[in-house]
């Protein structure tokens, strides 16, 4: 690795990325300037278990001289008394104790390295089906994916799944590394057969470029330098391809998007909107639009920790001030006046299901999109993808690791783009509100008009009532889910302030009021000039029953004509 001295005119011995080349001493300032000017390529690995992903990355780091000597010594072992020491390349990236003990990759391992031409960030992802969610996480920010195949086995189910997820995530380039060529005698026929199969597979996934490279991660053939064992192969080594493949500047060329993370107001003379630029470039003086309000203004200043800027581009974190006082809060988006994103409550999305518990149509989840979290549900499944054939199949649920196209309904508008236009504003995750586990990862395909089944404001029933449920948390949760299914605007609260209750009733919602006390189940509403709260037992037979069912409560609300039975099945 490079070694810095403390002399006033210090120089650095820059090590070439290829073994055998003599280091060339250059001034430190020049070296740092060169590092700053290099572009960055983010790539991830994918493929089935035991295809050799971690071994390939370890070999790539070792042969390109991007591993410290003490790290190499830590993973070097001797098999016998007279055997030569060997390096376990996989353990250069597998850092968890469980990974080392089991010889598998579990978590995503991120590694940074650089050569004389380019800087890289690697996401080494697991191949086990159980850890598909980690593969999707690692590939979500990648510009390129390396799909590994075992030359003896060819394309497996998990290889297809990972390749399809990579295509869903909008990765435009794939490198198919046909690994373990040494175990098939470096056969040209074997490689070419896998190459034909891979190209046929990718051709069904859309406009994706693929480069096939025969490699042996264990022996080092065609990883950093071209191997002598494959004279029939005339293409680049893996590192040569990674150094020269064009990097798409997708973020800076897109229309400007700034999801607001925080409003900064240290005093009355300053009001700034902080966030990370999701896409595009912004200049001082540009006209922008605040969404969802739709109001326009001009950029007055662009500030960072290091000072003010005349312009900024993705993915920089900034604070923007505007010339006009606009009502903007967390979750809003400041966007370019030209080609702004859409406000949508209802959209079609590709969904990768990540949780052992199957997805249920109509169940309420939390949807996290950019800087805001809302309640949402999957209202229907268009189809599920058969990973073996990539055919579309009808489905009424999605099991763990299944991929499908679904319709998602949110309870309030999100500011979105389609995923193929913008990764940041076109992606979301679904969270189970009970366990707080991430259960799904989605990519927005298209917006659907609110009239086609979304939680549109005009469809929300403006019912006004307080449900005093006492210390019944399970009943409160079940009630909330059933009322939302009936398109009822509902709020859960533990606040015991009558003024707050009146405000909720005036807002036209059903408020489920919980407390720590065991009390009768009752309902409260406004009377006497819309100011007096009158409480009464909800229904005979369930008011004093501590195990009252949500079904019985909803039936009582319908009987009192507080809500309408719009979807009969939802109350059963």
Strands (E), 448-505: 465-470, 490-493
Residues 532 and 430 in one domain: no
Domain co-membership, 305 together with 377: no
Give me the number of domains the chain comprises: 4
**pLDDT-derived band at 391, boundaries 50, 70, 90:** confident
- Mean pLDDT over each residue of the chain, to the nearest integer: 79
Confidence bin at 417 (pLDDT 50/70/90) = very high
| pLDDT band of 251, cuts 50, 70, 90 | low
231 and 118 in a single domain? The answer is yes
Say if residue 288 is in the same domain as residue 366: no
Residue bearing the bigger pLDDT, 336 or 131:
336
pLDDT band at 276 (very low <50, low <70, confident <90, very high): very high
- Residue 186's pLDDT is 94
Same domain, 378 and 474: no
Instruction: Give the rounded distance of the alpha carbon of 570 from its chain centre.
Output: 31
Does position 312 have pLDDT exceeding 70, yes or no? yes
Q: Of 336, 361, 383, at which residue does a domain stop?
A: 336
What's residue 423's pLDDT?
A: 86
Q: Give phi and psi for 146, each to the nearest 5.
A: -100, 115
- 366 with 385, same domain: the answer is yes
The one-character DSSP state at 131 is G
Q: What percent of the chain has pLDDT over 70?
A: 77
CATH number, residue 295: 2.40.30.10
Identify whether residues 446 and 518 lie together within a single domain. Answer: no
Q: What is the pLDDT of residues 140-198, one digit of tens each?
A: 788 899 988 999 998 888 888 888 888 888 888 899 999 999 999 999 999 999 999 99
Question: Does residue 12 lie in a domain region?
Answer: no
176 — phi, psi (to 5°)? -95, 105
Q: What is the CATH number of the domain that holds 519?
A: 3.40.30
Residues 54 and 108 in one domain: yes
* 25 lies in some domain: no
Q: Which helix (H) or strand (E) holds 195?
A: helix 188-203
Per-residue pLDDT, 504: 75
Closest CA to 136 of 317, 409, 402, 445: 402
Q: Is 75 left (phi over 0), alpha (psi -120 to 50) or beta?
A: alpha
Contacts of 39 by beta carbon, 8 Å cutoff, 6+ apart: 118, 119, 247
Q: Is residue 72 part of a domain?
A: yes
Weakest mean pLDDT among 86-100, 153-167, 244-258: 86-100
Same domain, 486 and 380: no
Lowest mean pLDDT among 78-92, 395-409, 421-435: 78-92
Checking if the pLDDT of 450 tops 70, the result is no
Task: Tell me: pLDDT of 68 over 90.
Answer: no
Q: Which of 452, 480, 500 is the last residue of a domain?
A: 452
Domain stops at, among 432, 452, 472: 452
Over pLDDT 90: what percentage of the chain?
29
Residue 189, domain extent:
38-244
| 402: confidence class by pLDDT, cuts 50, 70, 90 | confident
* 258 burial level (CB within 10 Å; 0-12, 13-18, 19+): buried
pLDDT at 97: 40
Residues 6+ apart with CB under 8 A from 33: none
pLDDT at 383: 92
CATH number, domain with residue 229? 3.40.50.300
Residue 217 pLDDT exceeds 60: yes
Asked if 434 and 467 sit in the same domain, the reply is: no
Together in a domain, 91 and 182: yes
Is the domain of 260 the same as that of 367? no
Which two structure tokens, joined as six digits, stand for 330?
Answer: 């967390």
pLDDT, residue 353, reads 92
Dist. CA 426–CA 542, nearest whole Å: 46
């Amino acid at each position: 690795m490079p070694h810095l001295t403390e002399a006033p005119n210090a120089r650095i011995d820059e090590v070439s990325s290829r073994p055998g080349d003599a280091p060339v001493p250059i001034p430190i300032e020049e070296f740092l300037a060169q590092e700053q000017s290099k572009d960055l390529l983010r790539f991830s690995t994918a493929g089935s278990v035991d295809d050799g992903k971690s071994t390939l990355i370890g070999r790539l780091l070792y042969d390109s001289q991007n591993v410290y000597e003490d790290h190499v010594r830590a993973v070097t072992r001797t098999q016998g008394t007279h055997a030569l020491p060997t390096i376990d390349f996989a353990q250069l990236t597998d850092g968890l104790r469980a990974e080392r003990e089991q010889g598998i990759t579990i978590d995503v391992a991120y590694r940074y390295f650089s050569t004389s031409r380019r800087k890289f960030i690697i996401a080494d992802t697991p191949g086990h089906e159980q850890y598909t969610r980690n593969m999707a996480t690692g590939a979500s920010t990648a510009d390129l994916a390396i799909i590994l195949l075992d030359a003896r086995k060819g394309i497996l189910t998990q290889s297809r799944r990972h390749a399809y997820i990579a295509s869903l995530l909008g990765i435009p380039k794939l490198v198919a590394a046909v690994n373990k060529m040494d175990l098939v005698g470096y056969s040209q026929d074997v490689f070419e057969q896998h190459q034909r199969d891979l190209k046929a597979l990718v051709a069904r996934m859309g406009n994706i470029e693929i480069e096939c490279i025969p490699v042996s991660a264990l022996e080092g053939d065609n990883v950093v330098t071209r191997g002598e064992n494959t004279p029939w192969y005339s293409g680049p080594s893996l590192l040569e391809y990674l150094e020269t493949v064009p990097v798409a500047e997708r973020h800076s060329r897109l229309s400007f998007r700034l999801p607001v993370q925080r409003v900064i107001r240290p005093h009355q003379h300053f009001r700034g909107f902080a966030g990370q630029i999701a896409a595009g470039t912004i200049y001082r003086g540009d006209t922008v639009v605040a969404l969802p309000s739709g109001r326009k203004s001009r950029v007055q200043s662009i500030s960072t920790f290091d000072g003010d800027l005349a312009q900024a581009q993705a993915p920089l974190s900034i604070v923007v001030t505007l010339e006009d006082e606009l009502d903007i809060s967390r979750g809003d988006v400041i966007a370019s006046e030209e080609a702004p994103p859409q406000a949508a409550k209802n959209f079609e999305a590709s969904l990768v299901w990540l949780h052992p518990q199957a997805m249920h149509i109509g169940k309420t989840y939390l949807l996290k999109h950019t800087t805001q979290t809302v309640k949402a549900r999957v209202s229907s499944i268009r189809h599920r993808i058969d990973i073996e054939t990539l055919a579309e199949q009808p489905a009424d649920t999605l099991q763990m690791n299944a991929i499908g196209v679904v319709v998602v309904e949110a309870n309030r508008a999100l500011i979105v783009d389609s995923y193929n236009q913008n990764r940041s504003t076109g992606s979301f995750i679904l969270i189970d509100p009970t366990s707080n586990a991430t259960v799904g990862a989605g990519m927005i395909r298209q917006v659907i008009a609110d009239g086609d089944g979304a939680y549109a404001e005009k469809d929300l029933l403006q019912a006004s009532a307080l449900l005093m449920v006492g210390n019944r948390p399970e009943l409160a949760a079940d009630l909330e889910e059933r009322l939302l299914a009936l398109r009822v605007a509902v709020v859960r609260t533990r606040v015991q302030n009558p003024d707050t209750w009146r405000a909720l009733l005036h807002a036209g919602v059903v408020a489920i009021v919980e407390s720590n006390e065991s009390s009768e189940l009752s309902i409260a509403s406004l009377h006497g000039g819309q100011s007096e709260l009158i409480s009464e037992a909800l229904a005979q037979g369930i008011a004093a029953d501590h195990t009252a069912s949500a079904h019985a409560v909803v039936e009582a609300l319908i009987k009192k004509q507080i809500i309408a039975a719009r979807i009969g099945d939802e109350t059963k």
